[in-house]
Structure 1
Amino acid sequence: MAYVRKNAGALTATERKRFVDAVLEVKRRGEYDEFVRTHVAYFAADGETQLRTAHMAPSFLPWHRRFLLDMEDALRRVDSSVTLPYWDWTRDRTATSVPWTKDLLGGNGRRSDQQVTTGPFAYSTGNWAIKVGVTDGRYLTRDLGRAASPIQLPTNDDVSWALNDPVYDVQPWDSTVTQGFRNKLEGWGTGSGSASWHNHNRVHRWVGGAMLGAASVNDPVFWLHHAYLDMQWERWQRAHSSHRYLPAAPPGTGDAQHGRVVARHDKLPPWSDTPDQLEDMSGVYRYE
């Protein structure tokens, strides 16, 4: 039977506690830092000549879907009642709304050094030291809303702009494309600065701190953010049922993207799953 992923704002106090306790236990066991290492390892950009799987490529959505399933499995080994909640940032849009409460993810970082000092993931609790990162910082950081240069979270219209595109992705299958659901949701736009950040990317920028780099998994909000994106992929699939993941076949030898993107039936490193196998999760989980 499929289990349910709930809106973080709909969790009961008991469900919040069980989720937080499970995340902390996964961290205590050393498994959480392995998730951070995996995300860092597969954070390849357009300019690199290697295979891109996690970002700036069609497999952005199935890669993170599989990544979330691994984390959810780890949580459910601790507590079988726990599933990943999602953060609907089109509705919960302030630095004091869900999920930034003391009994869930804690609040914003302090102004002096962006260190999170409230909630279960504050460094002072002794339960959440950063061990894998792109800097030497040991504590979780956030800069909700970007105090120095404020930005707003994406709106429902921004999400609809992506959902209304019936084509999953288009050539050249990277961050430069201006059409296709995948990149409109991932959020690489034209121009420079905040105007070029859409949906997924803009949320990472809005949270700031640890969420800005390859080690963004260090902030547990990563999972709630990507669960919401995964839900949008499911919504897109229902709305455009005759359209599927693209490319259907690998780019040919004369194509600049040859060997650099994952096609529908290619294995998705570091797993053996293919995007085709990850398109339908209705037998595993559902959203409410």
Structure 2
Amino acid sequence: MLKYICILLAVIASEAIAKSMFPLPRLQNLCTQTSVRRDIVSLPQDELQRFIAVVREMHRRGWMDGFGSMHDHIAHQIHGNEQFFAWHRRFLRHFELLMQEIDPGVMLPYWNWGTYWQSPVADPVLTSAYFGGNGRLGDNCVVEGAQARWGRNYPSRNCLTRRFRYGATTGAFWPMRAVRDVMNAAKTHAQFRSRIENGAHGIVHLGLGGDFETMYAPVDVLFFMHHATIDKIWAEWQSRDPLRYRQVDGYDSQRIPVTANSLMPFYSEEVGTALATNGPGYCYVYDDVPAAPMGAMFKSTRRAAFSSFKAAVNNTSSVEQQAQDTEDADDDSAVAPAAAAPPVGNEFHVKHALNDTADFRPPSPMSREWLKGRHMDVAEAARMQALVNNVVAQINTERRQKRAATAAAAAAAAAVRAA
């Protein structure tokens, strides 16, 4: 028995040393300036390279393991309930603040997966030009892009993995038209959260697979860019009613009502402090979403007392020799494509790999087992599947009508010329 007690104490001691390495910067009480988060494919080459350099340094320091550990440890408290939006907004800001400790001018970009929703494998973000795509056959390790040959030490020592849902493809994601249908229909925070979390949010995690479909998914930088898009979607919904910057509803994981005064797990800050992106401590807006009016923001009534929990990290995240790091950095430097992405929600010009005459396909349903294993709502996911199916059917009808009208106009013009 004494032997096992000694082993346990040694493990606890080693974790305590590792935990101290994961910083937790406090939010500032005011904003000296408001910065802008932008679509990653719109970043100029120098800004993209700075972002890549920063996240590589965060990985080198073991911070990516720390974020994965924290998210995993409290997963049941921040999914499937009304802590989801506010907590993840705070989590992203934590990540962004640590980025800025390395390079103060860098902002977290968002990954607009709606641009290539029909064929995500065609998205440049999932290529060697950005953050790599599917894992390698056999071990699912990511071996291309800015995260090529990354290792992780949480929850075990391994490479960073992705395993696309259908082998070589992820399957379709949600079109932004379906997301905006949810925005238009949802009247309460609880309705909107449940529909987005169990629809557009979940399908991306499942599609990329590997580490990305686990609760330690933040070991992958794409997690933060994906959730920045989810945060942007929430910000757009909030911008439609000033009351949404001060009020929330629904329940937490313990079925206790959530209000603006409820505390967020781990951070022990009021939910209300995270309801406006340009509020104190957050100080950012998205490139095409209106900022919250100052008079509409929640006013905090307490000073945060941080939780004693710290995420466990190690001092390295490499599964290869340190001498390989420099070689990797040289081999895998990202080059941004010159083409800009089409506007969000432009379904007629959506980027896809299909023949233009072929109908678009909706995302396939998420399995009941997968949903339940990730604290998601099976019934809500079924309702969202029906919604996105209908939206894709509408898009296909409109595309067929447009093709028919174009063909008819061409035939009429040809008849005039022949006459």
TM-score category (smaller protein): 0.7 to 0.9
Select 2:130's aligned residue among 99, 104, 111.
104
Are residues 29 and 115 of structure 1, via their aligned partners in 2, closer, same or farther at CA, if it must alter by over 3 Å? closer
Is the counterpart of residue 38 in structure 1 residue 70 in structure 2?
Answer: yes
After TM superposition, give the deviation of residue 103 of structure 1 in Å. Answer: 3.8
Is the counterpart of residue 267 in structure 1 residue 287 in structure 2?
Answer: no
Q: Tell me if structure 1 keeps the 8 A contact 2:64–2:220.
A: no
After TM superposition, give the deviation of residue 148 of structure 1 in Å. Answer: 7.6
Q: Deviations over 1:251-282 (max 9, x none)?
A: 9xxxx9544x6432111121132111111122
Which residue pairs with 2:216 in the alignment? 215
Q: Tell me if structure 2 keeps the 8 A contact 1:154–1:199.
A: yes
Which residue pairs with 2:57 in the alignment? 25
CA–CA distance in 2 between the matches of 1:57 and 1:225?
19
State the SS of the aligned residue for 1:203: helix
Are residues 115 and 98 of structure 1, via their aligned partners in 2, closer, same or farther at CA, if it must alter by over 3 Å? same
Which residue pairs with 1:154 in the alignment? 174
Select 1:70's aligned residue among 94, 116, 128.
94
After TM superposition, give the deviation of residue 92 of structure 1 in Å. Answer: 3.0
Q: Tell me if structure 2 keeps the 8 A contact 1:66–1:278.
A: yes
State the SS of the aligned residue for 2:135: coil
State the SS of the aligned residue for 1:183: helix
Is the counterpart of residue 287 in structure 1 residue 286 in structure 2?
Answer: yes
State the SS of the aligned residue for 1:270: coil
Is the counterpart of residue 138 in structure 1 residue 158 in structure 2?
Answer: yes
Q: Which moved more, 1:105-114 or 1:265-274?
A: 105-114
Select 2:187's aligned residue among 120, 145, 167.
167
Q: Tell me if structure 2 keeps the 8 A contact 1:216–1:222.
A: yes
Which residue pairs with 2:321 in the alignment? none
Provide the TM-score with structure 1 as the length reference: 0.79
Provide the TM-score with structure 2 as the length reference: 0.56
Aligned length: 249
After TM superposition, give the deviation of residue 97 of structure 1 in Å. Answer: 1.7
CA–CA distance in 1 between the matches of 2:255 and 2:144?
47
Q: Tell me if structure 1 keeps the 8 A contact 2:170–2:208.
A: no
Which residue pairs with 1:174 in the alignment? none
State the SS of the aligned residue for 2:123: coil
State the SS of the aligned residue for 1:4: strand
Match of 1:184, as an amino acid? Answer: R
Q: Deviations over 1:138-187 (max 9, x none)?
A: 111123453288631111122113211342344xxxxxxxxx10111111
Q: Which moved more, 1:25-34 or 1:77-86?
A: 25-34
CA–CA distance in 2 between the matches of 1:262 and 1:41?
21
CA–CA distance in 1 between the matches of 2:161 and 2:40?
21
Are residues 88 and 64 of structure 1, via their aligned partners in 2, closer, same or farther at CA, if it must alter by over 3 Å? same
Are residues 81 and 247 of structure 1, via their aligned partners in 2, closer, same or farther at CA, if it must alter by over 3 Å? same
CA–CA distance in 2 between the matches of 1:207 and 1:41?
22
Q: Tell me if structure 1 keeps the 8 A contact 2:165–2:171.
A: yes
Q: Tell me if structure 2 keeps the 8 A contact 1:96–1:107.
A: no
Q: Tell me if structure 1 keeps the 8 A contact 2:134–2:168.
A: no
Which residue pairs with 1:231 in the alignment? 232
Are residues 168 and 158 of structure 1, via their aligned partners in 2, closer, same or farther at CA, if it must alter by over 3 Å? same
State the SS of the aligned residue for 1:106: coil
Q: Which moved more, 1:112-121 or 1:210-219?
A: 112-121
Which residue pairs with 1:247 in the alignment? 249
Select 2:83's aligned residue among 51, 56, 59.
59
Are residues 155 and 79 of structure 1, via their aligned partners in 2, closer, same or farther at CA, if it must alter by over 3 Å? same
CA–CA distance in 1 between the matches of 2:182 and 2:247?
15
Q: Tell me if structure 2 keeps the 8 A contact 1:17–1:104.
A: no
CA–CA distance in 2 between the matches of 1:60 and 1:150?
24
CA–CA distance in 2 between the matches of 1:119 and 1:160?
32
Match of 1:113, as an amino acid? Answer: D
Q: Tell me if structure 1 keeps the 8 A contact 2:135–2:142.
A: yes
> Structure 1: which 5+ residue stretches go unaligned?
45-51, 171-179, 188-197
Match of 1:201, as an amino acid? Answer: G
CA–CA distance in 2 between the matches of 1:168 and 1:28?
42
CA–CA distance in 1 between the matches of 2:194 and 2:231?
14
Are residues 276 and 97 of structure 1, via their aligned partners in 2, closer, same or farther at CA, if it must alter by over 3 Å? same
Higher Rg of the two aligned structures = 2
CA–CA distance in 1 between the matches of 2:208 and 2:39?
18
Q: Which has the higher helix share?
A: 2
After TM superposition, give the deviation of residue 114 of structure 1 in Å. Answer: 2.0
